[in-house]
A and B are shown apart, each in its own frame.
Chain A
């Protein structure tokens, strides 16, 4: 099936916009103007102004001669660009491939879109109806090529939908300016007496290239569909994007839920067929009044499980406000990754750390409470206690070495060692008693010392001499003395952990 394109031309883009903003301007002549070399040049005129003979390009002072009470509105620089970009984003609801056609046009690739509205006629009526209701004056053209659609929109008379394959015959009647060529080329063609495209297309190509440059030939070929022309969409099309237009605007939470479920089913089938799972997904709802609501979720590992993803979204779509209704839902997956098909675990029913059920639980926790709460640790080959384990990046990572059990390690480790006062009988001997949080503990049994050195290539500091001690109640602690015992100053002792 061939491609179809729609060109929309906003004939009075900026003045229409001003009229929408300030309805009182509707019936009085007004112009948009920009300062230029100490005078004001008119850039756009509304319909009432044109009736008085005012035209774009005139100086404001001159036009005041024609109509003394002319309203002049300063045009902000870049207004047209901003407007057309916003309109292009709005028009995504009609086609995913929507491009800006500067300075005042839009181009839509409508291949496969119109049947959702019941044919091209109804499709175009829907678009034009919506835009005209907003207050824009538009001309539209629909054809097999971008060039032909553009030409029909601007120069066509009567029917603005060109049936497939008829772009050549339709274009031959139109003036050369319909070819999107530079104005001086148009002037030269007019001087040569070529007022329609027909005779131009009949000339030998070599002669045209030599006299008028390669641009004319390129535009001709593009308009006739000999040369391929590609649109640059205003929003890149995601390969994993599902759209659900609604016949009637959706205004209930149940409706949003059903839409989400349908989209998820389609997206997940697509992902499953490609052996992929999504890591990030965005759900958007386009409201009738032009507002777009969106919410995104992330997963810890690729998932294409509908029920799970639905639960993740469920929490977030509760605060969607349908207002006057939602007319289009989209769901896309900007980040996907390869997933291996579900693997049966060695232990039936048991859920290891690499089990999808655990990953799904982690997703729910992350979505509800935010990232950075879930940790998994692997043994690290360091003796220094704070470095003896390291954070595992994934749920699948396997430890390179087993967890060592040959040295006593406490079950609880204080985040920072706490200073304690001790009484030690002789150097390099465990203390007899220590005071921690205002309680005196008499040490009954002690093991040690276990000297742990700082790794000098990481950090240079005092080594620690660790002692495992048990007090009279049976509570067991991990104490250390920082640095060598030198005798001339008191040594600091610390409590670092609790044994079970």
Chain B
């Protein structure tokens, strides 16, 4: 019997993915515009009904994590639906979200006093079907709590993001993906004075059923561009005028 046929193998793998909470790509998939990063995900599709953990180690890195999350949330919100942004004290600047494609009036900010409250609100929000995304700024998350989050999003198909700024430990939590975003110096654009477009080193440290990796991405014209491809686009960049005050 041809037990080890590649079809059977593929079928089993599909089944495992399904049981892990990844739905096979369907027509309703959102293009996250992540370019080369997409290849690292299972099925090559950004997992939406899943928890993503973003680590940062400085206020600058935290801002970069926030911006990267905002750009993903902007894509998710394009389908409609609101976003909940939960954090201890609100230092997020709503007008600063617009450049990442997020209409800040569709974001509901929950300002909590204690980390414990943030975790409770997060769990309630992640269970709320129909939300585009839920972002939580929490420092410490236990394994059990994160497992509950992951189970909640597998049910509700909400994308959950945990922004962990300077966490104490690096113990793994039950998130599908662990990211680390660090700002990078902008490339030298010939003929362009001043600060360039935001550029980040995007590191995918862990991804369930996917491949980890490192990329350098630039946020330009409302989408990500892989920096490797910059040279070919230089001519187009010349034409763009960065509007500054």
Whether B81 lies near A373 (C-beta < 8 A) is: no
Whether B82 lies near A411 (C-beta < 8 A) is: no
Q: How far is the CB of B69 from chain A (nearest CB, A)?
A: 9
Q: Is residue B176 within 8 Å, beta carbon to beta carbon, of the partner chain?
A: no
Whether B185 lies near A405 (C-beta < 8 A) is: no
Whether B59 lies near A473 (C-beta < 8 A) is: no
Q: How far is the CB of A420 from chain B (nearest CB, A)?
A: 13
Whether B59 lies near A498 (C-beta < 8 A) is: yes
Contact of B183 among A362, A444, A475 (CB under 8 A): A475
Whether B105 lies near A358 (C-beta < 8 A) is: no
- Chain A contacts for B106, CB-based, 8 A: 352-353
Q: Is residue B244 within 8 Å, beta carbon to beta carbon, of the partner chain?
A: yes
With contacts defined as CB atoms under 8 Å apart, how many contacts are there between chain A and chain B in the complex? 210
Contact of B194 among A369, A446, A475 (CB under 8 A): A446
Whether A379 lies near B131 (C-beta < 8 A) is: no
* Interface-side segment among A114-122, A341-349, A453-461: A341-349
> Looking across the interface, which residue of chain B has its beta carbon closest to that of A470?
B195
- Chain A contacts for B98, CB-based, 8 A: 402-405, 409
Whether B120 lies near A409 (C-beta < 8 A) is: no
Cα distance, A445 to B194, chains bound together (Å) = 5
Within 8 A of A (CB), among B35-70: 58-60, 62-64, 66-68, 70
Cα distance, A293 to B89, chains bound together (Å) = 36
Cα distance, A368 to B119, chains bound together (Å) = 13
Q: With A352-B81, A447-B244 in contact, is A409–B96 under 8 Å at CB?
A: yes
Whether A412 lies near B96 (C-beta < 8 A) is: yes
Q: How far is the CB of A78 from chain B (nearest CB, A)?
A: 45
> Looking across the interface, which residue of chain A has its beta carbon closest to that of B199?
A474
Within 8 A of A (CB), among B186-208: 186, 194-196, 198-200
Q: Is residue A413 within 8 Å, beta carbon to beta carbon, of the partner chain?
A: yes
- Chain A contacts for B113, CB-based, 8 A: 369, 373
> Looking across the interface, which residue of chain A has its beta carbon closest to that of B245?
A450
Q: Is residue A415 within 8 Å, beta carbon to beta carbon, of the partner chain?
A: yes
Whether B97 lies near A411 (C-beta < 8 A) is: yes
Whether B91 lies near A414 (C-beta < 8 A) is: yes
Instruction: Say which size band chain B's interface belongs to.
Output: 35 or more
Instruction: Say which size band chain A's interface belongs to.
Output: 35 or more
Cα distance, A466 to B195, chains bound together (Å) = 13
- Chain A contacts for B128, CB-based, 8 A: 351, 357-358, 361
Whether B93 lies near A411 (C-beta < 8 A) is: yes
Whether B129 lies near A500 (C-beta < 8 A) is: no
Cα distance, A408 to B196, chains bound together (Å) = 11
Cα distance, A375 to B219, chains bound together (Å) = 28
Contact of A351 among B89, B131, B245 (CB under 8 A): B131
Contact of B63 among A349, A362, A410 (CB under 8 A): A410
**Subset of 25 A-B contacts with CB under 8 Å:** A349-B129, A349-B130, A351-B128, A361-B84, A361-B124, A365-B110, A369-B113, A373-B110, A376-B107, A377-B107, A402-B98, A408-B99, A410-B93, A412-B63, A412-B93, A413-B92, A414-B91, A415-B91, A445-B194, A450-B244, A470-B195, A473-B183, A475-B60, A476-B183, A500-B183
- Chain A to chain B: the 7 pairs with minimum beta-carbon distance, closest first: A500-B67, A450-B245, A351-B130, A347-B80, A350-B80, A498-B63, A475-B60
Interface residue ranges, B against A (CB under 8 Å): 58-60, 62-64, 66-68, 70, 79-82, 84, 89-100, 103-113, 117, 120-121, 124-125, 128-132, 182-186, 194-196, 198-200, 219, 242-245
Interface residue ranges, A against B (CB under 8 Å): 345-347, 349-353, 355, 357-358, 361-362, 364-365, 368-369, 373-379, 385, 388-389, 392, 395, 397-399, 402-415, 444-451, 466, 468-470, 472-477, 497-500
